[in-house]
Amino acid sequence: MKRVVARGVHQLPVGSHAYLVDGDEGVTLVDTGLPGHVDVVIDTLAHIGRTPQDVTAVLITHAHSDHTGSAAAVRSATGAPVSMSARDAVVARGEAGTEDPPLLQRLGPLSSVASRMLPEADPVVVDHEVSEGERTGLPEEWFVVATPGHTSGHVSYLLDRMGGLLFAGDAAMVDRHGRVGRGWVNAGSAAVDASIHKLAQLHFRAAYFGHGGFLSNDAAAAFRRYAAGLG
């Protein structure tokens, strides 16, 4: 079910969570879900009084098919440029193999069987390769935070609006008690923990994730509580 998680922020059920963010300068889409979900994006745009041509940017957190699966179709339908990290862009373009999600890595010998069960995303043109500290291709008020771990090129996006809105992709998750952690999408790794620790140093009010719930208030504090336990 589509839901409004903040003023102008719409969470889309597309196999993972994608987010339509409405603003004065147009609409930004963060991630696109599994293949075959472009209609969810188009229907949500119509519901909020927007058209596909109002989408000005598609920001991808990482190159797993539950996040990039509908990117090519969305780009075709909206004409909006697609942005993601250079490391994961080679995967999204079909130039390199997909990194297995940490969840599959934990399966050991069964991981190759499980990975073949995941739907493949169509290759997508990546218009902008984004990196932390650079603003090329990003809409106004959006910033990139490099958060490797879930994939080598995973990035999160921070929107400087309403006290700060973090779109963390699969860099972390939050449980039903409001506790931030690696979540079931990640294996225990120094890289994942380092990225969560890095996010804990930032200022943001709310945090939205690729799976599970979200935090609407004091989100940075929840990250800091997890990071404090890392030493």
* CATH code for the domain in which residue 28 is found: 3.60.15.10
Domain total for the chain? 1
Q: What's the pLDDT tens digit per position in 99-147?
A: 877 765 655 544 444 445 678 889 999 999 999 999 988 999 999 999 9
3-state SS assignment for residue 211: coil
* Model pLDDT for residues 171-227, shown as the tens digit of each residue: 999 999 999 999 988 988 899 999 999 999 999 999 999 999 999 999 999 999 999
Nearest CA to 82 among 53, 67, 55, 60?
Answer: 60
* Cβ neighbours of residue 219 closer than 8 Å, sequence gap 6 or more: 166, 180, 204, 205, 206, 207
User: CB within 8 A of 68, min separation 6: which ones?
Assistant: 31, 32, 60, 62, 84, 92, 121, 124
Q: Is the pTM of this model over 0.85?
A: yes
Q: Whole domain around residue 170: which residue ranges? A: 3-113+122-228
pLDDT, tens digit, 9 for 90 and up, residues 51-62: 999 999 999 999
The CA distance from 231 to 229, in Å, is 5
As beta bridge partners, residue 181 has 173
